[in-house]
Structure 1
């Protein structure tokens, strides 16, 4: 960066304080880009709060409504069915109406659904409002990463993209703390009602914050609103020459027609489609939400009380947040692939140990500590790998014209796999026991490691337009210098 006055020199110093943490950029940008990313990432806070709050609330909901194991799974899964719908339509809506307006609409739906859950008179109404909230969660899981990736400079896109995952982990931790604060009753009202209704607070913060943010410049270009896009880029790129970036965006936009779902099956897009769907499914069948949804239930089953189970889960949430911060510091330095491989390898080992803790009778006296320790380390490895990298990569690897739609497809598979796990995990434990259940999840992690090693490219430091160019050239290549490359060669049969 260059400074021509004392004022610009002071600005340079302030920006460097931030970039010392998030990486060393090659281009200029203002601190406003961090404001945009931070507020857009609050989509993840809604996402995380909802999947986290049910773990603590479920302990008391099942007492209020005398829920069977199956109905507990239905209560948990109601939001996932809604999320599948939200993800299915959210991508297309984001491409049609814009990232900003859709985020505001999603926040309003989440606000109303949270209040409805807290007031639910019976389990039917509760599941119904969880479905409504799920629609907002599905939309949030798409539009947050999308908005961030399309406004962030390439050199810090990974770090800013991980803010979404950091917000998810903060939302989960907030949910655990809210669960602890309101358990078991508050002001004479069952605590689970306060827990679920509290979701209206972060929803209001997101809606108000997003109202004051600009639209994605790349979406504006796609809609022919170049002057508005140029104005947005001038706000987030400081004194940098934005015309080169505008030319690059326009060059890609001009060779594209309006995208649709069928375009994802074109031969040149199939490698990206495979990566997105593969990571989506593996993120869930690796077992993370068995921990997020059912950690208090698991801990209670091995001897912890209700409140003690929630306190133990808070420790899991704190580790999730801290290791996500570590991932933010590393992603633009060492890349996406190394984080994925190390993290998934560690998850595989921890699930093996977790199953062993339930399997060996000699450990029965300390199984609670073995279980809690393995859960914490498992979450730590997840937090630096599959957790954030999946959401980051599906916001990077697809062309502009179908980016929202493609993210929607990946998210539908993600929520579908999430639903499968949530609906079957407690029943699976009842049928085959904890040890075999966790070992099955470990095998899924091992399969994820193989998939990542052979199929997932590196996208570190490359612009979204450069990534699209490699797709068009049938060489979906990821490289971070000395670490090597991963290539997708065209299929000669096509």
Structure 2
């Protein structure tokens, strides 16, 4: 594995160190995180743009409703595959190089989608695009978490969430305001621009020091840490901790997915995968994808339904930004426990509003208030920690596989929710569906309370040590906001 060190050229290392010395380690780290978070923008834009493009795609290719569902959901299927495959690849190739690979796939696939001569080739391009979306969602939060100091890790990782929201918002604005100026082909292809910016920028960014130590490239890891830490004392202390954990896990780890069955890692897997599932099953994607459909079918005008969807996207961005500012002060666990009950109550109230006499059009402001209330409490709560917990709780020896499984669980839950939301409303009505998703939010609260520990201010190595010592889970009688 040491031969891989030749990949890093002396020119790149010298430029990286010079830039870090000139602008300061903290600013360099922040710049690295902001650049890497462009992958989140691509994720948000490429998943969200289909809502504004689908009508024209269906007209050009004469698609029936079932074919439209396939074109929409095939990206999510690709994301499940990408999240499972790219975690393993990132363990061999490195986090930085894996981000570069999926970014290149982003660029090629969006151009291919824009040039697609038929629905088949458009679906194929979106399947490949989904692979990139899933791969980036697995590796980018891990890369950021492994670079960030413990006290700032939450704020750093949630830049990725904010970037996702900005991508969704940008897609909504394109769909709302550029229908006359841009064809659906342009809507897809324009995403190649941020992909090219990210790919070029990643060439000069550092590799994860934790991955380098895992490959026995300790001096390179020291150099990388030196670019993102203020003092040599911080570098030496952190490097010793990383080496200690890395050496121990090399002795204890097993090949293949069998390592995930070790009893001592099970609490981390339950906590992480449970949060991943509830991040989607709580209903956030249902609101992002189907708000115009729900509101239009309930009697809202098409224009009001569409602008309401923009409001949903804007709230997502605002609340994930606020969550970023709060998560390292309030804590991951506490933030979720405070917000989730109100998200559940908002959905229950929304279900009642849809069933009030007079129809939805008579109570549209109450419906919008409940809808936006749900977005405030869901996007500002569990959505903030969905990717963050997955980047924090898994020990180093299984991190690549576990984060792959984490992303696959999140995307798989998304796929289930997206493919059943309209069927659910057909069975239960829109109001009944809201009550069902409200119950899932309440169940998510119970899960977080009993199964998810607080990770605020703890290094990745301290979290792993708590797993080994059996002190990972929150105490059964811990005070709710302790």
The TM-score, its normalising length taken from structure 1, stands at: 0.87
| RMSD over equivalenced CA pairs, Å | 2.3
Q: Is 1:394 aligned with 2:390?
A: yes
Q: Post-superposition shift, 1:71?
A: 2.8
2:218 corresponds to which residue?
A: 226
User: For 1:93-129, what per-residue CA distance to the aligned partner results, in whole angstroms no more than 9, with x for missing partners?
Assistant: 1111111111111011111111122222333222221
Q: Is 1:236 aligned with 2:228?
A: yes
Q: Is 1:252 aligned with 2:248?
A: no
2:12 corresponds to which residue?
A: none
2:415 corresponds to which residue?
A: 419
Aligned residues: 456
2:378 corresponds to which residue?
A: 382
1:103 corresponds to which residue?
A: 99
Q: Specify the SS of the correspondent of 2:358.
A: helix
Structure 2 Cα separation of the partners of residues 460 and 484 of structure 1: 16
1:406 corresponds to which residue?
A: 402
User: For 1:281-306, what per-residue CA distance to the aligned partner results, in whole angstroms no more than 9, with x for missing partners?
Assistant: 11111111111112222233234555
8 Å Cα contact 1:108-1:207 kept in structure 2? yes
- Aligned pairs (5 A) from 1:85-484: 85-183=81-179, 185-186=180-181, 191-241=183-233, 242-257=235-250, 260-477=256-473
Q: Post-superposition shift, 1:369?
A: 3.0
Moved more, 144-153 or 115-124: 115-124
User: For 1:45-78, what per-residue CA distance to the aligned partner results, in whole angstroms no more than 9, with x for missing partners?
Assistant: 1111122212222343334444444333222211
Structure 1 Cα separation of the partners of residues 160 and 315 of structure 2: 17
- Structure 1: any 5+ residue segments left out of the alignment? 1-10, 16-28, 487-494
Q: Post-superposition shift, 1:250?
A: 0.5
Q: Post-superposition shift, 1:477?
A: 4.6
Q: Post-superposition shift, 1:472?
A: 0.7
User: For 1:14-48, what per-residue CA distance to the aligned partner results, in whole angstroms no more than 9, with x for missing partners?
Assistant: 98xxxxxxxxxxxxx52211112112222211111
Q: Specify the SS of the correspondent of 2:454.
A: coil
1:61 corresponds to which residue?
A: 57
Q: Post-superposition shift, 1:197?
A: 2.0
- Structure 2: any 5+ residue segments left out of the alignment? 1-19
2:14 corresponds to which residue?
A: none
1:4 corresponds to which residue?
A: none
8 Å Cα contact 2:339-2:380 kept in structure 1? yes
1:489 corresponds to which residue?
A: none
Structure 2 Cα separation of the partners of residues 222 and 167 of structure 1: 29
